[in-house]
Structure 1
Amino acid sequence: MEESRGLPIKIRPEQVSDYGAIAQLHTLAFGQSSEARLVEKIRHSVAYVSDLALVAEINCQIVGHILFSYGQLVGKDTVPVLVLAPLAVLPQHQRQGIGKRLVQQGLRAARARGNSLVTVLGEPAYYSQFGFEPAVRYGIESPFPVPEAAFMVKLVGQNSDLLHGKLQYAPAFDDVIQEATHAEA
């Protein structure tokens, strides 16, 4: 257990009893319910990985959440890869290292499970501290137009540098992708 503002932080896999608090956390962190709905859709899909859905607690209150789910890298072969999305921390607990601890623990768990690659669409300055690099360097494409620097990958397994192709998100992401595609048009 680590500390935030002197209070111990516990990171653990999410449980069914956490779902309401997690939905509220995402709604507060993002100022809308899209991410909360995305998490719910992922949970009800084959892309969901229960031990890679983590919460951060302080005094038994959920203050952060991260979700890794499966997508596919479609190239010469079709290979399952992890997608990090979403990551949220309650506004009053942001900038205290909680998100960082969630990402680090999630990446360790992903590596331990034998996964080869994690993708993320996010802020390059933030995710580069964990070793994420622009996906274009590895010949990995986003399924929709995004800034090159924002679509990143982290190699977590052996031979992951040999993977190439276009990411295919799980169907749970369809609404998010559609919104992003329309925003670009």
Structure 2
Amino acid sequence: MTTLRLRPEDPADEAPVARVLAAAFARPDVATPPEVGLVDELRHSDAWIPELAMVAEHGGEVVGYALLTRVRVCSDGGAAPAPALALGPVAVAPHRQRIGHGAAVVQAALDAATELGERLVVVLGDPAFYRRFGFERADRMGLTSPWSGLGEPWQALVLPPSASGEAPPPRGEVVFPPPWAKV
């Protein structure tokens, strides 16, 4: 029986990850889905955190992907922006969907973020899927973004506190790095 292996992306995974993204986000009206370019641009930005780009590998094939990158939360009070993470894109190869690979790779990314002492993750996605990880409406946590008006799909998760102690999660406008503006 082949098991699912979860690990951080390495440079040899770039093409397989692009194939998974292209297949998972395929649309008949677009040759290459924007998620493929988004990941490539994020890789070459200061938002990239190598330990938080997770792949799911089954039988030596990359079949899933979850990416956490740096965003900033700017409060109205003029305090310095607080670091946070954005989850996405998350993708699973179509032939491996609906068998738990997506949930496994997302959980691996969230676990890695917790180990690094990260405190807050935001996502725009299906509430039914992300609720299982503890995500809830971000607007109810005092977080806004260009996607705030979408309601339930704009979500946030406060990660468990690290050994350094518990600080309250930041509130304010979530500012995404420039590559996100193209999606």
Check if 1:150 corresponds to 2:150: no
1:91, 1:35 → 2: CA distance? 15
CA contact (8 A) 2:148 2:154 kept: no
Structural RMSD (CA): 1.2
Q: Deviations over 1:9-52 (max 9, x none)?
A: 00111111110111111000000421110000000000000000
Judge conservation of contact 1:135–1:153 (CA < 8 Å) in 2: yes
Structure 2: any 5+ residue segments left out of the alignment? 27-31
**Alignment of 1:164 onto 2:149:** no
Query: What 5-or-longer segments of structure 1 have no aligned partner?
Result: 1-5, 177-185
Q: TM-score, normalised by structure 2?
A: 0.89
Contact 2:124 2:147 in 1 (8 A): no
Partner of 2:29: none
Work out whether residues 117 and 160 of structure 1, in 8 Å CA contact, stay in contact via their aligned partners in 2. Answer: no
1:12 aligns with 2:7: yes
- Superposition map of 1:34-49 within 5 A: 34-49=34-49
Q: Which has the higher strand share?
A: 1
Contact 2:139 2:148 in 1 (8 A): no
Percent identity between matched residues is 35
How many corresponding residue pairs? Answer: 170
The question of 1:133 aligning with 2:128 is answered no
List aligned pairs for 1:33-182, cutoff 5 A: 33-75=33-75, 76=77, 77=79, 78-156=81-159, 157=161, 158-161=166-169, 163-176=170-183
Residues 26 and 146 of structure 1, relative CA distance in 2, 3 Å threshold: farther
**How far is the alpha carbon of 1:145 from its aligned partner?**
4.9
